[in-house]
Amino acid sequence: MVRSNIVNFKIEGGKRLHGKVRVNTSKNSAVGLLCASLLNRGTTTLKNMPRIEEVNRVLEVLASIGVQVKWKNGNDLEITPPARINLAHMDTEAAMKTRSVIMLLAPLAHHLSKFVLPYPGGCKLGRRTVRPHLFALERFGIDIVAHKGKYRVRVKKALAPADVVLYEAGDTVTENALMAAAKIEGTSVIKFASANYQVQDVCRYLVALGVGIEGIGTSTLTVRGKTDINADITFCPSEDPIEAMLFISLAATTKSSITILRCPIDFLELELLKLEKMGFRYTILKRYVAENGFTNLVDIRTAPSRLTALEEKIAAQPFPGLNIDNLPFFVPVATQAKGTTLVHDWVYENRAIYYMELTKLGADILFADPHRVFINGPTVLRGTEIICPPALRPAVIILIAMLAAKGESVLRNVYSINRGYEDLCNRLQKLGAKIEMLSDA
């Protein structure tokens, strides 16, 4: 059952940070792999999984439909699907608090001939159409009708491989198409696919289960499906480039020298280049491969930097472009850069509105339209009280700005942050941040 305790952060900002912090396993990879584990009749053990609210919500949903889920050895998670999945007692409250439930469409279609799922929740970022999922899955024989807050799904008796052109190059729609194709005998081709880190993780997990996939890391995936997947398997998800970017942005905004361990560099190169051209100074101390054998990691040491705004706009693009989830982290950085920075958040209608919350701390931001803001800097940020917006990345950039702001700040109801970051308050304290967690009575 979803808990509703309200947690707040109290911050004494304006201090430079120091020390080391380790990047955790990716939230987005974790939830994608949890959904994909339903394709396996055997037991999947996922290593070093983040203990965050988003994962908790997915686990609550899985447990309510009969899946055995068990934490082991700290952060390892063991998942064993039942012989028959029953949605009669699905925890709909948990399902409606996470957008990840949308990725259950394809896995459940391999278990049930018809079923109903509630609309997904998660971040409030404007209209996030699910039509790409519906268009992709219908190509395999999965018919979905959205009606009165529910998805009503009917599955043809014989699902068939397909050539699919995705309506948009989204991460979750690519994962849904992959999971549909994975258990259909024959060859399917998915074009205009996302090549992002979480998609690559799901691909490599499916390959480990015996599914053939060519084109991993590209926009065209060729999938040779396997109807019977039954293996006891241990898999290590990749580290989170979005969490790494949080600490990079924090270092740049607070002019701090910190060491960030286990950064997945292949998914940060363009972000670091943009910051480097703004004057951000950093050193790569070490390069190595993660425990999973495929994620390239680096340790980064940052240095206090004098920043200058870029002449060009900063905007996201599908991988290998600048990650859409990393785009917001340029906003607090831009408040400390000399000149005017244009951030163009073209994907979401509402997210740029949340950027304006930083003006309460003294940031000089012009709201041009629902997708664009102009940020003038550098400005002196000063502490204040703000209610956390219902969106993960906008919430955490307010936290970054508060850590840079002189004086005391209170960030109220930080559930949005806890959805995506594990034990963040304690980890920031270890970097010297004056931050404490308070609960409303």
Q: If phi over 0 gives left and psi between -120 and 50 gives alpha, with beta otherwise, what is residue 356?
A: alpha
pLDDT in tens, 1-13: 444 578 999 999 9
> Would the pLDDT of 121 be above 70?
no
Mean pLDDT of 114-118: 91
Mean pLDDT of 318-340: 97
Nearest one of 331, 335, 336 to 351, comparing CA atoms: 331
List the strands of the sheet with 385-387, edge to edge.
385-387, 407-412, 7-13, 434-439
Classified as helix, coil or strand, 101 is helix
In order, the DSSP letters of 230-286 are ---EEE-PPB-HHHHHHHHHHHHHHT-EEEEEEEEGGGTHHHHHHHHHTT-EEEEEE
Paired tokens of 167: 């309506």
pLDDT at 124: 43
How far apart, in Å, are the Cα atoms of 320 and each of 147, 246, 306, 329? 36, 19, 27, 18
pLDDT at 125: 35
Identify the burial level of 73 via C-beta atoms within 10 angstroms of its C-beta, where 0-12 means exposed, 13-18 middle and 19 or more buried. Answer: exposed
Mean pLDDT of 410-435: 94
Nearest one of 238, 192, 240 to 218, comparing CA atoms: 192
Of 45-49, 387-391, 437-441, least confident by mean pLDDT is: 437-441
Q: Where are the alpha helices (DSSP H) in 344-389?
A: 351-355
For 397, list phi and psi in degrees, rounded to 5: -75, -25
Classified as helix, coil or strand, 14 is coil
Identify the burial level of 278 via C-beta atoms within 10 angstroms of its C-beta, where 0-12 means exposed, 13-18 middle and 19 or more buried. Answer: buried
pLDDT at 157: 84
CA atoms within 13 A on the CB side of 178: 36
DSSP 53: H
Name the band, by pLDDT with cuts 50, 70 and 90, for residue 391: confident
> Would the pLDDT of 292 be above 80?
yes
Contact (CB, 8 A) for 251 and 257: yes
Tell the CATH superfamily of the 27-235 domain.
Enolpyruvate transferase domain (3.65.10.10)
Name the band, by pLDDT with cuts 50, 70 and 90, for residue 100: confident
Q: Could you tell me where in the chain the CATH 3.65.10.10 domains are found?
A: 7-24+239-439, 27-235
Name the residue with tokens 């080391």.
20
Nearest one of 172, 177, 133 to 151, comparing CA atoms: 133
pLDDT at 347: 84
> Would the pLDDT of 27 be above 90?
yes
Beta bridge partners of 222: 189, 214
Question: Which CATH number is associated with domain 7-24+239-439?
Answer: 3.65.10.10
β-strand pairing of 163-165 with 296-303: unpaired
Q: How far apart are CA 161 and CA 186, in angstroms?
A: 6
Q: How far apart are CA 295 and CA 428, in angstroms?
A: 25
Name the band, by pLDDT with cuts 50, 70 and 90, for residue 127: very low
Q: What mean pLDDT value characterizes the chain?
A: 94
Q: Report the percentage of the chain scoring pLDDT > 90.
A: 85
- The residue type found at 227 is T
Q: pTM for the whole thing?
A: 0.94
pLDDT at 441: 54
